[in-house]
């Protein structure tokens, strides 16, 4: 099982979640973060840290954001790993 970063992150890209991830499974895209589904250990440490409530367990992902599961898998392979907190896009 894995967690998925969904639409609320797009354009915000808060990074509070990456600093609490024990396995460094977050990846940084141009406008949002992604979780690598094979690296995520389902610890849920990131969920309460997200100020825009963009992280969902794959079983609880809202239907309108179902495509984000595949998007996270695809983009986490193409994006650089992120482990440090950065200024969010929406505050830039």
Q: What is the pLDDT of residues 37-78, one digit of tens each?
A: 999 999 999 999 999 999 999 999 999 999 999 999 999 999
pLDDT at residue number 90: 81
Q: Enter the CATH code of domain 3-91.
A: 3.30.70.20
Q: Scan for tokens 């995520």, then name that residue.
A: 40
Residue-wise pLDDT for 2-35, tens only, equals 999 999 999 999 999 999 999 999 999 999 999 9
pTM for this structure?
0.95
Residue-wise pLDDT for 71-84, tens only, equals 999 999 999 999 99
Residue 23 to residues 11, 19, 28, 89, 90, Cα–Cα distance (Å): 24, 10, 15, 24, 26
Per domain, the residue ranges of the chain are: 3-91
Give the whole-angstrom CA distance, residue 33 versus residue 65: 15
Torsion of CA 45, 2, 61, 87, to 10 degrees: 50
């Amino acid at each position: 099982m894995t967690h998925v970063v969904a639409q609320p992150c797009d354009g915000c890209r808060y990074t509070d979640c990456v600093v609490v991830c024990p396995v460094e499974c977050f990846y940084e895209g141009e406008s949002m973060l992604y979780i690598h589904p094979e690296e995520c250990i389902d610890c849920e440490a990131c969920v309460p840290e997200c100020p825009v409530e963009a992280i969902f367990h794959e079983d609880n992902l809202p239907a309108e954001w179902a495509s984000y599961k595949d998007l996270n898998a695809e983009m986490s392979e193409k994006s650089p790993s992120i482990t440090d907190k950065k200024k969010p896009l929406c505050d830039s």
